Structure 1
């Protein structure tokens, strides 16, 4: 106890100065401090995991190696958000998360809208003869359903808390909403390059539009993140399930720039149109509330 008391007394002036600095700092400093702290805290965990997973330098990460890294990074995010809230006297409610039934109902609404948008996307591609359904792979779905769903809910929830919750809210302190949305969506798209560059570069415009659509989702939910979380999670779950189970094969009748470069919907015209149409639905929803 004496050691802890001495350590607290030693750190107290530093913490007080840091708190004063964060309160008066430009929003860009707060944002940079958050992301640098997040990565800095995660790096020791990442190094340990890479050793346990027998990763060899200069070799690309395999999916089974990448997943533990992503999960560990995302599990740290709530702790970092909690630290920011302590420094800025904010609350989780300010960032769009409210622990009540409304959040769950909005989550379900967003999830349903996400599944509907993906279903319409592929139905039109089937109708146009751009892709075929691999019925023989349906038997893989039961084993993959729950794990992918849980990961999708984690990824969707954490990314919405960070980008449409913390980042958008902090940027709105100094910028109008439209500019805060543009900047947060650019950061959201750009940070996807951390995990994969070759496949992500063609997706950057689509990822930016996805970020803007998810901002609309928060607006339509009166500042809450339920719809955005559900929508984001549904898109991740549906696309990841289709990809891992190889449920879709493309016929090659049109360029992959229409269906999606490297089989990624956001890297093609069809996927971008899907995002734009879903955004229009959210805009109409926000206009009616």
Structure 2
């Protein structure tokens, strides 16, 4: 049986085939990378190890999807990857909405006294090195933004693009979105199992909101912007300072294990963004 016969099966089989090929191709690369990084699962990944492993995983995605697309006479545009000015505008809109949602989210928690934030020593401003600290902070923010755009672009291309497109050939948009979001949430278990378990409902809802963005926008731009903004905002806060819970509210409200998506506030933020998308784009 050749590749063209394999990809002509049911949509769920195509999706399973994709993740199977992706995993098999990445496994030897992951083992070699883990050995070089001296990482031994289930040992947690540190801030320097995770981007390198992500790079080894995500760099092979376009190659796999390109090969499967050629077999089915499709292009990246079929999955919502469009090189157009409107896509860039949508991306910026998504970034703005997600950053605004985080400002409101953390702002409310800070006003209520539920969280506290202290800048890291290397970013604490002083008269004698004010300019260098500012430049260092902006450099960190820019590098995090570029990483966030790459991660979100890859994940949206895979899940809201390739996977969602194929599942919609056999299922309704809603059923396809539910399945895609379940897969999206479960794949996060690869990196941090214990911390991810409480976040699974939030990650699933995040996937649904991102699918909603694609449905309204008809391309991946808005979803990539939303996704990148959330990654950039949360990572920047954690990189530039130390964000801690004051424990004045239950963890199930603010987020179990200090993970925003593992609490009622994070879920509320996602629902609010979904409502805003409905008002703006419906």
TM-score normalised according to structure 1 size = 0.88
Where does residue 133 of structure 2 map in the other structure? none
Structure 1 unaligned spans of 5+: 1-13
For 1:59 and 1:280, the matched residues in 2 are separated by: 39
Where does residue 78 of structure 2 map in the other structure? 94
Alignment counterpart, residue 85 of structure 1, candidates 44, 69, 74: 69
- Alpha carbons 1:220, 1:285 under 8 Å: kept: no
Q: Which has the larger radius of gyration?
A: 1
Q: Does 1:264 align with 2:264?
A: no
Q: 204-213 or 79-88, which moves further after superposition?
A: 79-88
For 1:69 and 1:107, the matched residues in 2 are separated by: 26
Please report how far the alpha carbon of residue 63 of structure 1 lies from its aligned counterpart in structure 2 after TM superposition: 3.2
Structure 2 unaligned spans of 5+: 125-135
Distance 1:135 1:224, change over 3 A: same
Q: Which structure 2 residues correspond to residues 97-116 of structure 1 after superposition, within 5 A?
A: 97-116=81-100
Q: Does 1:185 align with 2:148?
A: no
Please report how far the alpha carbon of residue 66 of structure 1 lies from its aligned counterpart in structure 2 after TM superposition: 2.3
Where does residue 132 of structure 2 map in the other structure? none
For 2:208 and 2:159, the matched residues in 1 are separated by: 11
Distance 1:56 1:176, change over 3 A: closer
Q: Does 1:34 align with 2:34?
A: no
How many positions carry a matched residue from both structures? 270
Q: 205-214 or 256-265, which moves further after superposition?
A: 256-265
Where does residue 6 of structure 1 map in the other structure? none
**1:177-222: CA deviation from partner (whole Å, max 9, x where unpaired):** 110011100110111111111100000000000000001111121x
Please state whether the residue corresponding to 1:174 is helix, strand or coil.
coil
Please report how far the alpha carbon of residue 84 of structure 1 lies from its aligned counterpart in structure 2 after TM superposition: 1.6
TM-score normalised according to structure 2 size = 0.91
Q: Which structure 2 residues correspond to residues 241-260 of structure 1 after superposition, within 5 A?
A: 241-260=236-255
For 1:21 and 1:149, the matched residues in 2 are separated by: 38
Please report how far the alpha carbon of residue 252 of structure 1 lies from its aligned counterpart in structure 2 after TM superposition: 1.3
Distance 1:118 1:26, change over 3 A: same
- Alpha carbons 2:119, 2:240 under 8 Å: kept: no
- Alpha carbons 2:120, 2:241 under 8 Å: kept: no
CA RMSD of aligned residues (A): 1.7
Please state whether the residue corresponding to 2:45 is helix, strand or coil.
coil
- Alpha carbons 1:219, 1:286 under 8 Å: kept: no
